[in-house]
Amino acid sequence: MKINYIGHSCFLFRESGGTTLLTDPYGDVGLSLSRLKSDIVTVSHSHYDHCNVRAVEGNSVILSRAGKFSVRGVEIEACESFHDDANGAKRGKNLIFSFTMDGVRVCHLGDLGQKMDDSILDKIGRPDILLIPVGGNYTIDGGEAARYVRAIAPAVVIPMHYHVKGLTVDISDETAFLSEMGPYERAKEAEFTAKTLPAATKVLLLERK
| Residue pLDDT, tens place only, 68-104 | 999 999 999 999 999 999 998 998 899 999 999 999 9
Distances (CA, A) of 111 to 1, 59, 103, 128, 200: 24, 26, 25, 19, 26
Instruction: Identify the domain containing residue 8 by its residue range.
Output: 2-206
91 dihedral zone (left: phi>0; alpha: psi -120 to 50; beta): alpha
% of residues, the chain, pLDDT over 90: 91
Work out the widest C-alpha separation in the chain, in whole angstroms.
42
Q: Which are the contacts of 118, defined by CB distance < 8 A and separation ≥ 6? A: none
Q: In this predicted structure, what is the pLDDT of residue 35?
A: 79
Q: How confident is the model at residue 32 (pLDDT cuts 50, 70, 90)?
A: confident
The CATH number assigned to the domain holding 26 equals: 3.60.15.10
Q: Strand, helix or coil at 134?
A: coil
Amino acid sitting at position 205 = L
Question: Tens digits of per-residue pLDDT, 104-149?
Answer: 999 999 999 999 999 999 999 999 999 999 999 999 999 999 999 9
Least confident of 56-60, 170-174, 201-205: 56-60
Q: How far is CA 12 from CA 60, 167, 190, in A?
A: 13, 19, 11
Please report the pLDDT score of residue 16 as a whole number.
Answer: 95
CA 55 to chain centre: 18
Confidence of residue 7 (pLDDT cuts 50, 70, 90): very high
pLDDT band at 178 (very low <50, low <70, confident <90, very high): very high
Torsion of CA 33, 114, 134, 189, to 10 degrees: -60
Mean of pLDDT values over 186-209: 96
Q: What is the pTM of this model?
A: 0.96
Number of structural domains found in the chain: 1
The pLDDT score that the predictor gives to residue 44 is 97
